[in-house]
């Protein structure tokens, strides 16, 4: 879990991490969600945004970068040249009532990011 000052900074960090991991044995899935979170006394983030981020990450496959509609809307104007957004539509997230519209950040020249499907 990491918190960023902007959605664009979060996306750039996710893309950099995914590109750095290509060809290595460690395969991760990343979710980006924009919302408010509270910092606990123990220094951990908590709240609905944290829960929705975890549920969004859970519907992805390894090597995917998924993001919510709000995040996609915020980063769309400043996408890195090598990144495009694939609209995967609305999906129900475990134990949450409101569906989340999900987007995948596809990275050109990064074969692992080309799959546009979610775990069912």
User: How high is the mean pLDDT in each 10-residue block of the chain (120 residues)?
Assistant: 90 90 84 86 82 88 90 92 91 81 84 52
Instruction: Tell me, yes or no, whether 118 lies in a domain.
Output: no
Helix (H) or strand (E) holding 41: none
Residue 120's pLDDT is what? 46
For residues 5, 6, 9 and 10, what is the CA-based torsion angle, rounded to 10 degrees?
Answer: 90
Three-state DSSP at 88 gives strand
Instruction: Tell me, yes or no, whether 119 lies in a domain.
Output: no
Instruction: Tell me, yes or no, whether 106 lies in a domain.
Output: yes
Residue 9's pLDDT is what? 94
- The neighbour count for residue 107, using CB atoms within 10 Å, is 21
Instruction: Tell me, yes or no, whether 120 lies in a domain.
Output: no
- For residue 54, give the CATH number of its domain: 3.30.70.1230
Among 30, 28, 27, CA closest to 12: 30
Structural domain for 45, as ranges: 7-113
Instruction: Tell me, yes or no, whether 15 lies in a domain.
Output: yes
Instruction: Tell me, yes or no, whether 1 lies in a domain.
Output: no
How many domains, the chain?
Answer: 1
Residue 93's pLDDT is what? 80
Residue 101's pLDDT is what? 92
């Amino acid at each position: 879990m990491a918190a960023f000052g902007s959605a664009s900074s979060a996306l750039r960090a996710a893309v950099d991490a995914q590109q750095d991991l290509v060809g290595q044995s460690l395969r991760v899935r990343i979710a980006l969600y924009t919302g408010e979170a509270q910092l606990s006394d123990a220094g951990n983030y908590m709240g609905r945004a944290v829960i929705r981020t975890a549920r969004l990450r859970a519907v992805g496959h390894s090597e995917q970068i998924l993001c919510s509609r709000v995040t996609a809307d915020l980063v769309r104007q400043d996408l890195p040249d090598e990144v495009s957004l694939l609209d995967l539509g609305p999906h129900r997230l475990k134990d949450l009532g409101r569906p989340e519209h999900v987007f995948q950040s596809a990275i050109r020249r990064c074969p692992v990011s080309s799959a546009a499907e979610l775990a069912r």
